[in-house]
């Protein structure tokens, strides 16, 4: 066994299936890497070598069960605010420590699927911070340059994956803690929809916002963990053509980091090559919501979680001074502040969702810059808040998000983007993220691991209904928004079979066409159309928007196939103008202008 062993989830499973690797050999390699890493400040506690060897032996004895154990023999790490049975949970505060009697539900699911807990990882104390330096257990070493912060609060979990010490890890995300460390360590960070992963066994930070998150080297690996950790649903897949929200130049804040600004612009261009159309959004409601997290009554939710402990703890408890300042600062907020904050958030959410209307996702920098450890010594609070500029709002709005590696500054420090989708869009984001990783070839973390084969990439199987449109619902015309708002996606453009008469109906406004199939033997024409698809559960809502005499029926296409599409009742064409010779609605509009 050598340091070249690929610890990727799919790489391990393939080697186990082929019989070229045992779980015992994997654990021996992990232990060697841990020894080579030395005192990297990644771990608060670890499973004993004996316990790891015993777990490996038990799995090797069950090699015949590999197909029923989707994470068979896969080593992983757990952020130390998540319980693992028989191990101490500290939340990076020695005075808070307790031995967990049972594992958090997510951990239990992963272990039942064959995964092996290597240890508990360091974090910003009580998951309060985005920097990774607020811990009495030290600062996990950023694999790309130890003079830079690793990102937090899930610092140890991200470094453990980036440095190739484990296959994946669990973090948490309240304000960006599952995304910022991913960006700073060149790995994938999946932040699921709030409440998708059970929070049972999680030490709360802001209980109403906390999410357990996943760090992995690839989207395919993260998807394998998602499939075990939660019963995930999904919004429709992001298609070959898509619309994505981007920052306006006036809203793009990089805190003086011109290299990150260039990398963000390059990321937008790459998304365009994948079929995307960028749409500038007004970032104000997202930014204003982000500011609520540390300057509004939600600070008091952190106080509710651990404020009493902090106030009663003595000097030996190891409470980080900045963490104490933030958490106990929540005492100043009143019930009135809490209600006013909720009202404010409701308004901002409505405004933000209006900006997202018709978009498949947002694409923002994971962070606007990265700081050195020395920077945080000078400005521990302000610079931490800068790192949440593009992350804090996501859980407020109940969204899903995926942090992806996106390049490197000239000094070698990683840059990442985050794709933000609607609730339950995890698998859609991961499927798209897998496409991104294949066209943006970057190292996986700081390892020699390779992307798993394309057959391992997530695939979203979705129920969509194709509908042919021939009038104002076509791209760029007045009623197209009805399709877009319901998740419509343009699939193709073409013509009908030459068996239709096409009319400009006399009623309105707006003026609209009617297409009627001719009787066998009668002369018809081929009419321009677009085929759009809608999620199956949105077709009813679309039907309710269609006024008589129009409706949906079977439309014959020029290639001999059929599709659901717009047709008109023949009685309504008596006084209509026959425009069949023009061949389509756009041609008619141009001729009429």
pLDDT per residue as tens digits for the range 272-287 = 999 999 999 999 999 9
**Alpha-carbon span 188 to 452, nearest angstrom:** 14
- Mean pLDDT of all residues in the chain? 94
Q: What is the pLDDT of residue 510?
A: 66
Residue with tokens 């996702």: 361
Closest CA to 426 of 240, 225, 207: 225
Q: Does domain 9-456 have CATH number 3.90.1300.10?
A: yes
Bridge-based pairing of strands 43-46 and 116-121 is: antiparallel
The verdict on whether omega for the bond into residue 516 sits within 30 degrees of 0, i.e. cis, is: no
Domains 9-456 and 464-592 share a fold: no
The residues with which 410 forms a beta bridge, in sequence order, are none
In angstroms, the CA 551 to CA 543 distance is 8
Say if CB 323 and CB 133 are below 8 A apart.
no
Residue 193 · residue 212 · CB < 8 Å: no
Asked if 92 and 136 count as a contact pair (C-beta separation under 8 A), the reply is yes
Angstrom distance (rounded) from CA 576 to CA 459: 47
What confidence score (pLDDT) does residue 480 get?
93
**Could you tell me the sign of the dihedral formed by the alpha carbons of 115, 117, 120, 122, in that order?**
negative
Output the CA torsion 408→409→414→417 (10° steps): -80
**Among 41, 103, 120, 153, the one annotated catalytic:** 153
Continuous segment of H or E residues that includes residue 563? strand 562-568
- Give the Cβ contact number of residue 302 at 10 Å: 26
SS3 content of the chain, % helix, strand, coil (to 5): 40, 20, 40
Report H helices in 423-520.
Answer: 426-439, 480-485
What is the model's pLDDT at position 232? Answer: 67
- 537: tokens are 């559960």
**E strands, 248-352, in order:** 276-281
Cα 396 to Cα 419: distance, rounded to the nearest angstrom: 16
Which value, to the nearest 10 degrees, does the dihedral of the CA atoms of residues 51, 54, 56, 62 take? -140
The answer for residues whose C-beta is within 8 angstroms of residue 23's C-beta and 6 or more apart is: 16, 55, 56, 57, 59, 60, 72, 73, 116
Peptide bond before residue 450 is cis, with ω within 30 degrees of 0: no
Contact at 8 Å (CB) between 187 and 405? yes
pLDDT of residue 1: 41
C-alpha dist (Å) from residue 187 to 181, 254, 262, 263: 8, 21, 20, 16
Helix (H) or strand (E) holding 23: helix 23-37
CA-to-CA distance for 171 and 590, rounded, in angstroms?
57
* Helix (H/G/I), strand (E/B), else coil: 367: coil
Low-confidence ranges of the chain (pLDDT < 50): 1-2
Question: 26: closest CA among 2, 42, 47?
Answer: 2
Give me the percent of the chain exceeding a pLDDT of 70.
98
Architecture of domain 464-592: Roll (3.10)
Structure tokens at 210: 């906390």
Count the neighbouring beta carbons within 10 Å of the beta carbon of residue 308: 10
Hey, what are 552's tokens? Answer: 């949906």
79 a catalytic residue: yes
Report how far residue 457's alpha carbon sits from residue 9's, in angstroms, rounded to the nearest whole number: 12
Q: Across the strands, what pairs with 213? A: 171
Compute the C-alpha angle 516/520/522, nearest 5°.
Answer: 70
First to last CA, the chain: 74
Structure tokens at 320: 């980080």
Write the CA distances from 144 to 6, 372, 412, 443, integer angstroms: 19, 12, 7, 12
Instruction: Report yes or no: 376 and 384 within 8 Å, Cβ to Cβ.
Output: yes
Of 103, 177, 213, 533, the active-site residue reads 177
The residues spanned by each domain of the chain are 9-456, 464-592
Q: Give the distance, in angstroms, between the CA of residue 37 and the centroid of all CA atoms in the same chain.
A: 30
Measured between alpha carbons, how far is 318 from 299 in angstroms, rounded to an integer? 21
Angle between helices 49-60 and 23-37 (to 10 degrees): 160
As a whole number of angstroms, the distance between CA 68 and CA 114 comes to 9
Predicted confidence (pLDDT) per residue in 89-136, tens digit: 999 999 999 999 999 999 999 999 999 999 999 999 999 999 999 999
Q: Which residue has the tokens 């390699």?
A: 29
Residues 345 and 289 sit within 8 Å (Cβ to Cβ): yes
Say which of 79, 120, 349, 446 is annotated catalytic: 79
Would you state the structure tokens that stand for residue 228, as one six-digit string?
């075990």
Tell me, yes or no, if 208 is annotated catalytic: no
* CA 390/CA 569 separation, integer angstroms: 51
């Amino acid at each position: 066994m050598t340091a070249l062993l690929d610890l990727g989830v799919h790489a391990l499973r393939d080697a186990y299936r082929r019989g070229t690797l045992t779980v015992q050999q994997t654990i021996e390699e992990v232990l060697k890497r841990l020894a080579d890493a030395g005192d990297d400040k990644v771990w608060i506690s670890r499973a004993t070598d004996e316990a790891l060897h015993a777990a490996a032996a038990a799995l090797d004895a069950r090699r015949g069960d590999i197909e029923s154990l989707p994470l068979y023999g896969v080593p992983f790490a757990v952020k130390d605010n998540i319980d693992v049975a028989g191990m101490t949970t500290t939340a990076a505060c020695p005075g808070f420590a307790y031995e967990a009697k049972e594992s958090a539900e997510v951990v239990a699911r992963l272990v039942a699927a064959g995964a092996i807990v290597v240890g508990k990882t360091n974090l910003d104390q009580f998951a309060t911070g985005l920097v990774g330096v607020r811990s009495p257990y030290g600062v996990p070493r950023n694999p790309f340059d130890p003079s830079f912060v690793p990102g937090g609060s899930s610092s140890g979990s991200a470094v453990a994956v980036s440095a190739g010490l484990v296959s994946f890890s669990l973090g948490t995300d309240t304000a960006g803690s599952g995304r910022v460390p991913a960006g700073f360590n060149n790995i994938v960070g999946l932040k699921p929809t709030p409440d998708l992963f059970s929070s049972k066994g999680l030490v709360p930070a802001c209980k109403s916002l906390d999410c357990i998150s996943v760090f992995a080297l690839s989207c395919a690996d993260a998807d394998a963990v998602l499939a075990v950790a939660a019963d995930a649903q999904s919004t429709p897949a992001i298609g070959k053509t898509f619309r994505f929200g981007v920052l306006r130049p006036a809203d793009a804040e990089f805190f003086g980091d011109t290299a990150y600004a260039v990398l963000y612009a390059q990321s937008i261009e790459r998304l365009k090559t994948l079929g995307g159309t960028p749409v500038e959004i007004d970032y104000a409601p997202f930014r204003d919501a982000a500011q609520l997290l540390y300057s509004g009554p939600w600070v008091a939710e952190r106080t509710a979680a651990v404020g009493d402990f902090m106030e009663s703890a003595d000097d030996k408890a190891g409470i980080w001074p900045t963490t104490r300042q933030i958490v106990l600062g929540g005492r100043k907020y009143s019930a009135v502040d809490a209600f006013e904050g909720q009202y404010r958030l409701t308004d901002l959410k409505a405004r933000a969702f209006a900006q997202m209307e018709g978009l498949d996702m947002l694409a923002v920098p994971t962070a606007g810059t990265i700081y050195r450890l020395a920077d945080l010594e000078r400005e521990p609070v302000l610079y931490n808040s800068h790192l949440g500029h593009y992350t804090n709002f996501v859980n407020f709005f109940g969204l899903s998000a995926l942090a992806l590696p996106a390049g490197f500054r000239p000094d070698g420090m990683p840059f990442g983007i985050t794709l933000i989708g609607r609730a339950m869009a995890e698998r859609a984001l991961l499927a798209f993220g897998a496409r991104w990783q294949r066209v943006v070839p970057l190292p996986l973390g700081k390892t020699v691991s390779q992307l798993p084969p394309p057959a391992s990439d997530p695939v979203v199987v979705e129920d969509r209904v194709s509908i042919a449109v021939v009038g104002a619902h076509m791209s760029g015309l007045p009623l197209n928004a009805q399709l877009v708002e319901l998740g419509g996606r343009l699939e193709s453009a073409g013509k009908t079979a030459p068996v239709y008469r096409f009319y400009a109906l006399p009623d309105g406004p707006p003026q609209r066409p009617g297409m009627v199939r001719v009787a066998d033997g009668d002369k018809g024409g081929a009419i321009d159309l677009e085929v759009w698809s809608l999620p199956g559960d949105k077709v009813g809502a679309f039907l309710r928007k269609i006024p008589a005499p129009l409706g949906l029926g079977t439309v014959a296409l020029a290639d001999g196939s059929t599709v659901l599409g717009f047709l008109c009742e023949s009685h309504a064409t008596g006084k209509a103008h026959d425009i069949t010779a023009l061949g389509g609605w756009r041609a008619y509009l141009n001729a009429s202008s």
